[in-house]
């Protein structure tokens, strides 16, 4: 499975999203074989999404959902990659880049090697692979946070 096939699966997953604000899908996969887990953004069980700006405080992000699904099912994720996409009117839209510290801090220790995001460029949209450490660093920078070193 390559990143373009993973993108199609993530777009399909976003169609199941119960979030009114952001329809996102994600897939964890092994590039040499195939999907490990598929997930989408949705409200926590027992709650409804109202589409407000505070939606992310009570909804599960697609990255969190796909990670939880893999762990709940006992699927090993070391050495896998994740691809996340937002969908509007059935079409994938470019990401603004690494920006969610809530997801990033979960992905770093998970064993996932990299995350793919869709971007917009001069020649159209393209997928970009971020090694997980770089993704986390960029997320913290984009959120105005600074990485502290242990020592």
Of the candidates 111, 108, 109, the one whose C-alpha atom is nearest the C-alpha of residue 134 is 108
In a domain, 149, yes or no: no
Structural domain range at position 88: 3-142
> pTM of this prediction?
0.90
CATH number at residue 38: 3.40.140.10
In a domain, 148, yes or no: no
Q: Which residues contact 2 (CB under 8 A, 6 or more apart)?
A: 31
In a domain, 133, yes or no: yes
DSSP 32: T
In a domain, 151, yes or no: no
pLDDT in tens, 82-140: 999 999 999 999 998 899 988 999 999 999 999 999 999 999 999 999 999 999 999 99
In a domain, 150, yes or no: no
The total of other beta-carbon atoms located within 10 Å of residue 100's CB is 17
Tokens of 5: 């096939």
Number of domains comprising the chain: 1
Q: How far lies 38's CA from each of 34, 57, 87, 108, 139, in Å?
A: 11, 22, 15, 18, 23
């Amino acid at each position: 499975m390559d990143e373009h096939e993973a993108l199609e699966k993530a777009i399909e997953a976003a169609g199941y999203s119960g979030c009114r604000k952001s329809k996102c899908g994600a897939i964890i996969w092994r590039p040499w074989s195939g999907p490990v887990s598929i997930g989408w953004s949705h409200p926590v069980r027992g709650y409804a999404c109202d589409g407000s700006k505070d939606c992310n405080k009570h909804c599960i992000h697609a990255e969190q959902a796909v990670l939880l699904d893999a762990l709940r099912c006992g699927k090993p994720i070391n050495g896998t990659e994740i691809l996340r996409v937002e969908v509007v009117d059935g079409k994938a839209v470019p990401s603004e880049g690494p920006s969610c510290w809530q997801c990033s801090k979960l992905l770093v220790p998970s064993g996932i090697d990299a995350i793919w995001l869709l971007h917009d460029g001069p020649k159209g949209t393209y997928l970009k692979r971020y090694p997980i450490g770089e993704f986390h660093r960029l997320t913290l920078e984009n959120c105005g946070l600074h990485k502290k070193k242990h020592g």
